[in-house]
Amino acid sequence: MLQQSGELKRHFQWGWMACRVRAACLWSRWCVLACFACLAGTGDHSLGFSVKPHAQYLAVAVSDRYRDSLNELALSELESSGFRNIDFADGRWYFDAGLRLSDARALAAIKHVASIRAIALCANLSTAKDPLSARELALRVDEAAKWKATLKELTATRRCSPSTLRVVSRRSLPAGLEQELEKLLVRRFGWRRQVRGRKADITIHLCARGGMLHVEVPLLYQEKAVLGGGLPRPGLGHVEAWACARSLQIESGDLVLDPMCGKGTLLAEAAVWWPSANFVGCDVDKDQLDCCRSNFEWLQREVSLYHTDATKMGGIPFQDGSVDKVLVAPPWNRQYRIQGDPEVFYCSMFKEILRVLHPAGRLVFLGASGKTIHKLEVALRNAQKEHRCFRIVSKRSFFLTRSVTGVMAVAENTPCENSEGAGWKALPWEGQAPENGRDLYNHWRHLRALAFPELRPASEPIRDDNETLRHRLPKRFLVLVTVLLGLAAFRRQVL
Ligand SMILES: C[S@@+](CC[C@H](N)C(=O)[O-])C[C@H]1O[C@@H](n2cnc3c(N)ncnc32)[C@H](O)[C@@H]1O
């Protein structure tokens, strides 16, 4: 009996030993596999989703061309801010944080990019035998993304934490992925899903490129109007419009008028760069005024518009000498026809402009080279009143389109005796500028870009605590009322 129990004990010991050896083997095999997975970029290839090492940030470049002068400005900003491993691909800058204390402050020094995003995850989807379902992919993305670090960056750039979210993705990803990921993130962080058409505090972008999935969280962005173009009702190019507005020398509080504003592209550009001035537009064409209004709505800038004939005496609804700066591109009798004699039209226009323009004011007008600018010059001379002598102080030709050379003329109130008018010369703010053509355009574009403001936080500041309370109040109030009503009903039944 004793012998039998001794044997049993020995068998049991051997079995236990074998189990431990087997477990150790499995454990070491798992460790080796895990090490290989780490070295190869980690992840479970059989599941068609493997996490890849990736850059910390990406910045959407202003131009796809690496050699663009605005991209050169961006590169020097990235380098001087201490970012590392800077790489340009597909119109995007990829980079890592350097040895700095604050990434948020270093990121704020970058101005010449469209936006900056933190990369929360980079995964390889090309190993999948069968494509993952939206639910499976969302689960893996949720598990693998560096949410904590990304959120820290987001709060550092906006100085407050998000409470609403949206996930957006390109069409090449499984349908329903956004909703699945939104659900998981709502559960993970307690945020609310933002309704369609409203801006969320945090927008997560899922971008698929060449079998790779990027999970990107926008941190900062440059205003679209500053980048240029994009007006819903475009007209004159933004660089040329900026050059005209720059020549006006707008100061804070100035009243700036375009008496024939059309779609308002000149005024719009002035409003983007000199927002502390007041802007007024007039036009005979109501449709043009509507276009101007929608351009300003898009810009989120203020403008006062008047439907009026600016060639009539008193047509511009302002008192004599009450306008500080006038910017005008009158019709050249091409796209916009002139009723009657152009010389008479221009002369009446200048008379009305000079009536409202302050004696110390400035006038910038745009004509086409050749006959039009000549007629405009003659008209300005003929429109002068006694004691007032607005003369052209500088005149600049530039390519408006491939076939049209525009001329910008700057006029000031100067003593009549020494005012024979200016020849063709560079504008004072231009510095060493090329003569004309594409080089001049690039020179102006570069000067405009030097004034880019700092990037803005990626979404509107989060509502303050009072607002959050206001938002939650109706729900809580309803709960309270329901409970009270229930109690009242219960009491009535009991008593
Ligand atoms: C070349 S467009 C102006 C472009 C505009 N400055 C811009 O920035 O897009 C000329 C405009 O002058 C307007 N116009 C023509 N005759 C006018 C008049 N007598 N009074 C006011 N506006 C007039 C036309 O309706 C047209 O919109």
Q: Which residue has the least CA distance to atom 6 on ligand 1? A: 261
Q: Which residue has the least CA distance to atom 26 on ligand 1? A: 262
pLDDT at 27 over 70: no
The full length of the chain comes to 495
List Cβ<8 Å contacts ≥24 apart for 172-176: 172/208, 173/137, 173/206, 173/208, 173/213, 174/131, 174/132, 174/133, 174/134, 174/137, 175/134, 176/134, 176/135
What is the mean pLDDT of the segment spanning 40-47?
43
- Take residue 283 and report the two structure tokens written for it: 């036009």
Residue type, 450: L
Q: How many CA atoms lie within 13 A of 8 on its CB side?
A: 5
User: pLDDT tens digits for 434-456?
Assistant: 888 889 999 999 999 999 999 98
User: pLDDT tens digits for 173-192?
Assistant: 888 999 999 999 999 999 99
Share of the chain above pLDDT 90, in %: 56
Q: Tell me the whole-structure pTM to 2 decimals.
A: 0.79
Atom of ligand 1 nearest to the CA of 285: 25
Q: Tell me the domains of the chain and their CATH numbers.
A: 47-222 (3.30.2130.30), 228-450 (3.40.50.150)
User: pLDDT tens digits for 287-317?
Assistant: 999 999 999 999 999 999 999 999 999 999 9
Atom of ligand 1 nearest to the CA of 309: 20
Q: Which residue has the least CA distance to atom 3 on ligand 1? A: 262
Burial (0-12, 13-18, 19+ Cβ within 10 Å), 75: middle
Res 7: pLDDT: 65
Q: Is the CB of 236 under 6 A from ligand 1?
A: yes
Q: Could you tell me the pLDDT band of residue 42, with boundaries at 50, 70 and 90?
A: very low
Q: Which residues pair with 215 in a beta bridge?
A: 121, 206
Q: Is the CB of 265 under 6 A from ligand 1?
A: yes
Res 403: pLDDT: 85
Atom of ligand 1 nearest to the CA of 258: 6
Q: 407, 396 in Cβ contact below 8 A? A: yes
CA 312 to ligand 1 centroid distance, Å: 14
Q: Is the CB of 331 under 6 A from ligand 1?
A: yes
CA 407 to ligand 1 centroid distance, Å: 17
pLDDT at 472 over 50: no
User: pLDDT tens digits for 349-393?
Assistant: 999 999 999 999 999 999 988 889 999 999 999 998 766 789 999
Q: Is the CB of 150 under 6 A from ligand 1?
A: no
Q: Which residue has the least CA distance to atom 19 on ligand 1? A: 309
Q: Which residue has the least CA distance to atom 17 on ligand 1? A: 284
Mean predicted lDDT score pLDDT of the chain? 84
User: pLDDT tens digits for 401-434?
Assistant: 888 899 999 999 987 655 555 566 678 899 888 8
| Pocket residue to mutate for ligand 1, from 236, 256, 261, most atoms within 8 A of Cβ | 261
Q: Which residue has the least CA distance to atom 27 on ligand 1? A: 262
Res 387: pLDDT: 60
pLDDT at 158 over 80: no
Q: Which residue has the least CA distance to atom 25 on ligand 1? A: 285
